[in-house]
Amino acid sequence: MTLGALTFNETQLQAAVAGRDARFDGWVFLAVTSTRIYCRPSCPAVKPKREHQRFYPSAAAAQEAGYRACKRCRPDASPGSPAWDWRTDTCARAMRLIGEGVVDREGAAGLAKRLGYSLRQLERLLIGEVGAGPAALARAQRAQCARTLIESTDLPMGQVAFAAGFTSIRAFNRTVAEVYACSPTELRRKSRRTAQAAAGAIALRLAYREPFEPSNLFGHLAAAAAPGVEEWREGAYRRTLRLPHGPGIAALRPGPGFVECRLRVADLRDVTAAVARCRRALDLDADPHAPMEALAADPVLAPLVAKTPGRRVPRKADGPEYAIRAVIGQQIATASAATVAARLAERYGEAVEDPEGALTRLFPAPAALAEADPDHLPMPNARKRTVLALAKALADGTVEVGPGADWARSRRALAQVPGVGPWTVEMIAMRALGDPDAFPVKDLGVVKGAERLGLGAGRALEARSLPWRPWRSYAVQYLWASSEHPTNKLPTN
């Protein structure tokens, strides 16, 4: 059976349902014709007879076919399909942009325009891949966001509707009733409320696929944090966010089976975008089993994978920010690069208020840095020229590093920026674009890790890495972790 870009045979699908295999969650959705409910394959409910089972490649496709979300396993809240995380084709780029709320802000036609397609062409592609067009996919996302806010906050229903992306209370009420078979008020009454966040904050739980190793992920983000823009406080990585309608602050803390996310946004319409950026920063939609299987086939990496399975790639919530900071970090220590980034934010970044910590600024937008006085950039002259050239290219769209970027095109454009070499391109590809196969072969941490493990260097290491494809970004995490460095472990304070 083919579900979009994925092909499963009947035996695989039935085994996944019978074994309640959580590895299939988010890849496929099980619908039951007798109850008109759709579930995760891992749903603990009694399994239906085979003749009553139908499979769909997305929650939106199941909803379009007239099925309601299971109230027990919450299938629409499962981590997104990993395919959209490691693919760079048009459908993957569209799915990432839909996750950022582009359809809510610009409409389906705006999404198509961003991707260089007509709306009809894009609808045909998405229906063929995931069984639903952009409007239906965005509707499913709004419904899931609404339920999360209904059940986890005390926001008035009108504000929930606004935050979830609905344009009217009527559409909000109708969609919630159709997808969950109850009204918003009933959803809130039936929910098992969790501890609330501080006043003005929204507390959420971000799901991921097991296994999940947080040490290098949070360790790297904390060690490279630019004061004022990012911080590690009370066991959480906190940072400011530049969102479509204003600034925000996110606090992310690893928890048992989920990542705690506490958001503050200036405009509730930015909740969807903020969640999408937090998920991308922590690589939460990844399928950890695919890279683990590929890397474990190497006898040198196999023991490392077995020791700490489920490593993720530490990305950045803001692609343009990381691109600039990758240039800043060329040939200097992590702490020094963070200090320079903080100084730039202090001079050129927008001020923010943080009632819970010490965050004070957004990292400067590319347009602001492109107009900066070179004398005010605290770095060598050659690097100043590169930062200014890259900022201009990001500001005018010559270089794109957002969720809708074409990775190959972005790599080519980055390589044309004076002073941006192979190391910088690969680091930006790995941590801003999200390319799972980025491999900065000359990175000092990669070189040291490879030497320690006897994997060679330069061309020899490049050749040795070919069987790891397309998961070399994950191999980098194991190479980095083979040395003692503060980025390899969770901070203790």
Provide the token pair at 46.
């009694």
Burial class (CB in 10 A: 0-12, 13-18, 19+), 382: exposed
Range list of β-strands (E), 258-325: 258-265
437 is known as an active-site residue? no
Residue 145: active-site member: no
Q: Which DSSP string do the residues of 74-104 spell out, in sequence order?
A: -GGGSPPPTHHHH--SHHHHHHHHHHTTHHH
Q: Which residues pair with 254 in a beta bridge?
A: 259
Buried b (16+ CB within 10 A) or exposed e, 31-59: bbeeeebbbbbbbeeebbeeeebebbbbb
> Which of 85, 298, 437, 443 is labelled catalytic?
443
Q: Which residue has the tokens 């010559």?
A: 398
Which helix or strand (DSSP H or E) is residue 248 part of? strand 246-254
Buried b / exposed e over 391-418, threshold 16 CB at 10 Å, is bbbbbeeebbbbbbbbbeebbebbeebe
Strand, helix or coil for residue 458: helix
Pairwise CA distance, residues 225 & 340, whole Å: 11
Q: What phi and psi, each to the nearest 5 degrees, are found at residue 32?
A: -115, 115
237 Cβ contact list (under 8 Å, min separation 6): 218, 221, 222, 225, 230, 231, 251, 252, 253
Q: Is 293 exposed, middle or buried (0-12, 13-18, 19+ CB in 10 A)?
A: exposed
Q: Which residue has the tokens 């980034």?
A: 341
Q: Count of CB atoms within 10 A of residue 8's CB?
A: 17
User: Please, what's the b/e burial string for 345-368 (b: 16 or more CB within 10 A of its CB; e: otherwise)?
Assistant: bbbbbeebebebeebbbbbbbbeb
Q: How far is CA 40 from the centre of its chain?
A: 21
Catalytic residue among 25, 39, 85, 285: 39
The DSSP secondary structure of 162-201, one letter per residue, reads HHHT-S-HHHHHHHHHHHHSS-HHHHHHHS---PPPSTT-
> What is the CB neighbour count within 10 angstroms for residue 483?
14
φ/ψ of 448, rounded to 5, equals -65, -45
Quick one: which of 180, 194, 108, 173 has its CA closest to 144? 180
Name the residues annotated as catalytic: 39, 443
